[in-house]
Amino acid sequence: KAGVTQTPRYLIKTRGQQVTLSCSPISGHRSVSWYQQTPGQGLQFLFEYFSETQRNKGNFPGRFSGRQFSNSRSEMNVSTLELGDSALYLCASSISALAGPGANVLTFGAGSRLTVL
Amino acid sequence: GQNIDQPTEMTATEGAIVQINCTYQTSGFNGLFWYQQHAGEAPTFLSYNVLDGLEEKGRFSSFLSRSKGYSYLLLKELQMKDSASYLCAVKPGYSGGYNKLIFGAGTRLAVHP
């Protein structure tokens, strides 16, 4: 079956612009999470969506936003880009969203690499 | 705060055994994951521990001690293709639950012939 698909894979923007990244989860997966990956910082949680509702949000400024559509596809948007937003943005999908213990395995996409000049 | 520590880099020889350690301090604990990430690729799931002890899966094993806030990933019979970054991640307590994972910065493993 198809994996998690992220588009675009690479993009270059300038400071002040905005960007929209797209994620198509594995068919049947209803939970989509977004992470930012930078060298030395590792993966940092941005937000999580389940059934079109944001279930959880990381410690990022309001310039970072997202949404999920009825077909579980998700988009994230970053407005007023800053140099520090240069990173690999990873999307991960999961069948469900368990609140407690459970091996709710995340399947990651290959990411969208954003460079801000 | 929430903190996960793992070594930045490790090197090992093909055919050998390597142990990658991970220590964590998080608000609650609902399990620990290990992911493998080759350069330029997506992280892929390796293992999950929620109870103390060792979980074995082929050449890879993962150990957890909740009282010590400690885990390790053991890779046996190393192959060149095992050269990758290994990410330790904790699913925190309910307040940050669902699918939010706290990741360490990753350990870059280089396997030499």
pLDDT tens digits along A5-16? 999 999 999 999
Q: Is A41 on the interface with B (CB under 8 A)?
A: yes
Gap between the terminal Cα atoms of chain B: 41
Higher pLDDT, B29 or B93: B29
Place of tokens 């010590």: B68
Higher pLDDT, A95 or A92: A92
DSSP letter assigned to residue B91:
-
- The pair of structure tokens assigned to A81 is 């880009």
Q: What is the pLDDT of residue A42?
A: 87
Half-sphere exposure of B44 (CA within 13 A, CB side): 8
Residue A101 has pLDDT above 70, yes or no: no
- Confidence band of A100 (pLDDT split at 50, 70, 90): low
Please give the average per-residue pLDDT across B8-14, as a whole number: 97
Q: In 3D, which of B85, B63, B66 has the Cα closest to residue B25?
A: B66
Instruction: Decide if B99 contacts A90 (C-beta within 8 A).
Output: no
For the stretch A34-87, pLDDT in tens is: 999 998 788 999 999 998 999 889 999 999 999 999 999 999 999 999 999 999
Q: Do B99 and A56 touch (CB under 8 A)?
A: yes
Most B CBs within 10 Å, among A45, A57, A59, A88, to test the B interface: A45
- The pair of structure tokens assigned to B106 is 């990753």
Q: What is the pLDDT of residue A56?
A: 86
Half-sphere exposure of B102 (CA within 13 A, CB side): 24
Most B CBs within 10 Å, among A106, A107, A113, to test the B interface: A106
Residues of B in contact with A50 (CB under 8 A): 98
